[in-house]
Amino acid sequence: MPSVKEQVSSTMYAAISAAMNKPAEELSDDTQLIADLGAKSVNFVRIIGALEDEFDLEIPFMEFRRKKTIGEAIDYIVQLCEC
């Protein structure tokens, strides 16, 4: 069975890929959501929605939006899942 981090990572990449209309292969843990992808509030809402649905979580918008990279966002969601 995949670890929580693997599950979060897989879902995160799929959500970001869909929200930003970018192939998941072009993304990495070091990809910056705003600087590299140009993510706007609407993109964050779509990403958060997908993660909340998948993991049955309540994700604080502003806290999530402060994460600069995909890797930071993954670590943050893993922390929420493990609480």
Q: Which residues pair with 41 in a beta bridge?
A: none
Per residue in 21-37, pLDDT (tens digit) is: 999 999 999 999 999 99
Q: What percent of the chain has pLDDT over 70?
A: 100
| Residue 62: band (very low, low, confident or very high) from pLDDT cuts 50, 70, 90 | very high
Phi, psi of 69 (to 5 degrees): -115, 165
Per residue in 33-57, pLDDT (tens digit) is: 999 999 999 999 999 999 999 999 9
Residue type, 30: D
Q: What is the DSSP string of 15-39?
A: HHHHHHT--GGG--TT-BTTTTT--
Among 72, 76, 8, 18, residue whose Cα is nearest residue 47: 18
CATH 1.10.10.10 given to domain 4-82: no
Residue 83 pLDDT: 73
Q: What is the DSSP string of 35-78?
A: TTT---HHHHHHHHHHHHHHHT----HHHHHT--BHHHHHHHHH
Residue 82 pLDDT: 84
